[in-house]
Amino acid sequence: MSETPLPLTEVHPGVWLLDTDQFGVPGQGGIYLLPGRPAALVEAGTSLAQGRILAALEALGVRREEVEWIFLTHIHLDHGGGAGALLKELPRAKAVVHGRGARHLADPSRLVASVREAVRDRFPLYGEAIPIPEERIHIAGDGEAFPAGGDTIRAVETPGHAPHHLCYFLEGEGLLFTGDAAGLYLGGVLVPTTVPPSFDLELSLRTLDRMEALGPRLLLYTHFGPGDPRLLGEYKALLRRWVERVEAGWRAGLDEAALVAEVLSEAEREGLIPSGPARGDLAMSVRGVLAYLEAREGRA
Ligand SMILES: [Zn+2]
């Protein structure tokens, strides 16, 4: 049997993107590897990505004990769910996370239950999240700098998609790892990701301003790959339209199922829906906007 070559691409000198075939589909989710010293990963993927990540490190000539950091943008399972399993194989590494996400890495049970509720029948595709011992969790402060990948990587607080979201800025090269803060960028199409339980429009827009102010030369999307920094401005406009559209149906009194169907068919006409599992994600994103609107109304 011949070995399948790894879907590993150098997206910038010294920065490699590994396609994890998230949810069984190529081009949906990835993790970044920085083999320069000290070696680091950005994102862990789900536990289902583990074998492929270890093979990619080997292919890049990085020994397991040379990896010092796993920079997690946030703890949603497609980003951080596999971190616990991976840390068992990377003896010196620590998972870097926002303070508000740390307890869910130490005890993922509540997070796993909420994901099960949100993604319904797609839950098995999220792998298994195992608890991470506290001494292997590094809580990053806003602006904290880490030597990594032969450069300096800075954690940037970027709430909105989730309150505990961090982006990471590779300063020398001007590369910004966007996590989910700048939406999804799938096959050249920008797609909203406004999932429950804590999407917040105002925070997202402020975060996008902050990301623009960093002056990145290139965006690196977890979903999926490199993108032009102008996408930050485009995503702001897209988010506003997306929330307005859900709000219109909500004010008209549509029930959740009808609202999801209507918003999705409109999005389809606009070419907002790429093929693959992103359709299910988009339905979840409609529910996330509803939760945001209800919470905002409750605050008013
Ligand atoms: Zn997320």
Read off the pLDDT of residues 83-133 as tens digits, 9 standing for 90 and up.
999 999 999 999 999 999 999 999 999 999 988 887 788 889 899 999 999
Q: What is the mean pLDDT of the chain?
A: 93
Distance 180 CA to ligand 1 centre (A): 5
Distance 25 CA to ligand 1 centre (A): 18
Question: In the structure, what pLDDT confidence band is assigned to residue 2 with cuts at 50, 70 and 90?
Answer: very low
Q: Are 101 and 72 in contact (CB under 8 A)?
A: yes
| 77 CA from centroid of ligand 1 (Å) | 8
Strand order in the sheet with 15-19: 8-12, 15-19, 30-34, 39-42, 67-71, 94-98, 137-140
pLDDT above 60 (res 1): no
Give the model's pLDDT for residue 159: 98
Distance 78 CA to ligand 1 centre (A): 7
Q: What is the mean pLDDT of residues 180-184?
A: 97
Percentage of the chain lying above the pLDDT 90 cut: 80
Helices 278-299 & 109-119, crossing angle to 10 degrees? 110
Least confident segment among 29-38, 139-148, 280-289: 280-289
CA of 86 to the centre of ligand 1 (A): 19
- pTM, two decimals, is 0.95
Q: How far is the CA of 20 from the centre of ligand 1 (A)?
A: 16
162 Cα to the center of ligand 1, angstroms: 7
- Per CATH, the homologous superfamily of domain 8-233 is Ribonuclease Z/Hydroxyacylglutathione hydrolase-like (3.60.15.10)
Give me the pLDDT at residue 269, please: 83
Amino acid at 22: Q
Query: What pLDDT, on the 0 to 100 scale, is given for residue 270?
Result: 78
Reported in sequence order, the residue ranges of 158-276 that DSSP labels E, i.e. its strands, are 166-170, 175-179, 184-186, 189-191, 218-221, 225-227
Q: What is the 2 CA–ligand 1 centroid distance (Å)? A: 35
Structure tokens at 117: 């509720």
C-alpha 76 to ligand 1 mean position (Å) = 5
Mean pLDDT within 221-226: 97
Residue 3 has pLDDT above 60, yes or no: no
More confident residue, 179 or 25: 179
Q: What is the reported pLDDT for 273? A: 66
